[in-house]
Chains A and B, each alone.
Chain A
């Protein structure tokens, strides 16, 4: 016989209740990057808009940076860690296949036995996390969800590759999602384009090193086999990010039932200032919309970039609580996720 299953009761809606960020102590200027590549400060600035980035020290781990950002987000949300029902961590730079880093974070925060798992969606990871978190709350699986984006991309950077050495940074950003009587998160417009998997990717899979002969792998200037790093086809990524992602951003506005004129804030993934500028132009965003430009001093921190930029805009007054923001992440996969949210 088929029993009648109670579906449980979720909140009517979900919202972002608090945000927190962690930037590693060490600030790395372009001059330091230039020790390993033949380039110039002017070239790096004109191609990326990046002036400085933060690189983590040994004690600034994926877990420790996440704990700091998460603690701030929980305090900002006005809840306590034991109220968190699920911890979702988006990252591509936690070098432990299993267990997930989310379980360590859930434990050390003192959540009790919150559900905890990592998701791998590169620079769209935070957007994927928002979609998952909202679903958990409205379905009744969790009342409060911690969504963290965290990266130590300095570990996955080829310091001798002049096309990428200056791009990446480290850091963690976190938000607490919770129940809401009013809608405060639009539908997520998301997807994947696996036919473009080779456009942004890790140079070599980890298990390549299990095969004894690594003589065909690239070596660095000292003759050592290079550790895997992120590589990308710049022009192809630029074209996709600007012109295809502008369409996705517009779809997210449409799905939320608003227009660009209703927006206060635009927080695209902080990949590159040129992508941001071109995207803003393509989307024809009105002058009054505040644009996140955190990439200038943070670099590209993949899954961490959107919550870090959100935290900074709120802290500096560029954005304020209650503002309507469009967030869009896009990256290796290729994958993307865009949604309209009310800022905490």
Chain B
């Protein structure tokens, strides 16, 4: 069953916590990965790959650049998940 937006944000929280060590509860919809969560461009790739596996979605490199905030990523996953 497809994940809800809330479930996706919670899942991204766990992924960001695992990769960047940021507390999962700080990973909120309006947070910027680079400016607020200390996720640099390379860590972002790791976040994306982990999210792809978790939510069964493909996120091509060209689309990664458009994912500035947690909300951007959640919306992308929501509309692209199988």
The chain A residues found within 8 Å of chain B, CB to CB, are 46-47, 233-236, 238-239, 242-243, 274, 278
Q: Say if the beta carbon of B1 comes within 8 Å of chain A.
A: no
Q: How far is the CB of A166 from chain B (nearest CB, A)?
A: 14
Contact of A274 among B42, B49, B61 (CB under 8 A): B42
Once the chains bind, are B49 and A235 in contact (CB under 8 Å)? no
Q: Determine if A239 and B45 form an interchain contact, defined as CB atoms under 8 angstroms apart.
A: yes
CB atoms of A239 and B40 under 8 A apart? no
A234 near B41: Cβ-Cβ < 8 Å: yes
Which of A47, A233, A243 meets B42, CB within 8 Å?
A47
Nearest CB on A from B76, distance (A): 16
- Chain B residues in the interface with A (C-beta under 8 A): 40-42, 44-46, 48-49, 61, 64
- Which residues of A have CB within 8 Å of B42? 47, 234-235, 238, 274, 278
* CB of A104 to closest CB in B, whole Å: 39
Known pairs A243-B49, A278-B46; A236 contacts B61 (CB<8 A)? yes
The count of A-to-B residue pairs whose CB atoms sit within 8 angstroms is: 27
Q: Which residues of A contact B45 (CB under 8 A)?
A: 235, 238-239, 242
Q: How far is the CA of A234 from the CA of B65 in the complex (A)?
A: 12
Bound: A234/B49 CA distance, A: 15
Flag if B41 contacts A239 (CB, 8 Å).
Answer: no
B40 to A235, Cβ gap below 8 A? no
Closest chain B residue to A239, Cβ basis: B45
Contacts of B48 in A (CB 8 A): 239
In the bound complex, CA of A239 to CA of B41 (Å)? 11
What is the chain A residue whose CB lies nearest that of B41? A235
Alpha-carbon gap, A302 to B75, bound state (A): 40
How distant is A101 from chain B, measured CB to nearest CB, in Å? 34
Interchain CB contact under 8 A, A46 and B40: yes
25 A-B pairs (CB sep. < 8 Å): A46-B40, A47-B40, A47-B41, A47-B42, A233-B61, A234-B41, A234-B42, A235-B41, A235-B42, A235-B44, A235-B45, A235-B61, A235-B64, A236-B61, A238-B42, A238-B45, A239-B45, A239-B48, A239-B49, A242-B45, A242-B46, A242-B49, A243-B49, A274-B42, A278-B46
Q: Which A residue's beta carbon lies closest to that of B64?
A: A235
Q: Shortest Cβ distance from B18 into chain A, in angstroms?
A: 10
Closest partner residue, chain A, to B52 (CB atom): A243
B41 to chain A: which residues have CB within 8 Å?
Answer: 47, 234-235
Q: In the complex, which residues of chain B have a beta carbon less than 8 angstroms from the beta carbon of A278?
A: 42, 46
Nearest 4 interchain pairs by C-beta? A236-B61, A239-B45, A274-B42, A238-B45
Which residues in A have their C-beta under 8 angstroms from that of B46?
A: 242, 278
Chain A contacts for B44, CB-based, 8 A: 235
B49: which A residues are within 8 A, CB to CB? 239, 242-243
In the docked arrangement, what's the CA distance between A236 and B40, Å?
14
Q: How far is the CA of A301 from the CA of B61 in the complex (A)?
A: 26
| CB proximity of B32 to chain A, nearest CB, Å | 17
With a cutoff of 8 Å between Cβ atoms, the chain A residues found around residue B64 in the complex are 235
CB distance from A250 to the nearest CB of B (A): 16
| CB contact between B61 and one of A46, A47, A239, A242 (< 8 Å): that residue | A239
How many whole Å from B30's CB to the nearest CB in chain A?
23
- Distance in Å from the Cβ of B59 to the closest Cβ of chain A? 10
- Output the least CB separation between B13 and chain A (Å): 20
Q: Return B21 CB to nearest CB of chain A, in Å.
A: 13
Complex Cα distance A67/B66, Å? 49
Q: Which chain A residues lie closer than 8 Å to B40 at the CB level?
A: 46-47
Give the Cβ gap from B81 to chain A, nearest Cβ, in Å. 20
The CA-CA distance from A295 to B44 in the complex, in Å, is: 22
* Chain B: CB-nearest residue to A236: B61
CA distance A66 to B48 in the complex (A): 41
**Known A47-B41, A239-B48; 12 more pairs at CB < 8 Å:** A46-B40, A47-B42, A234-B41, A235-B41, A235-B44, A235-B45, A235-B61, A235-B64, A236-B61, A242-B46, A243-B49, A278-B46
Closest to A281 in B: B46
Residues of B with C-beta under 8 A to A236: 61
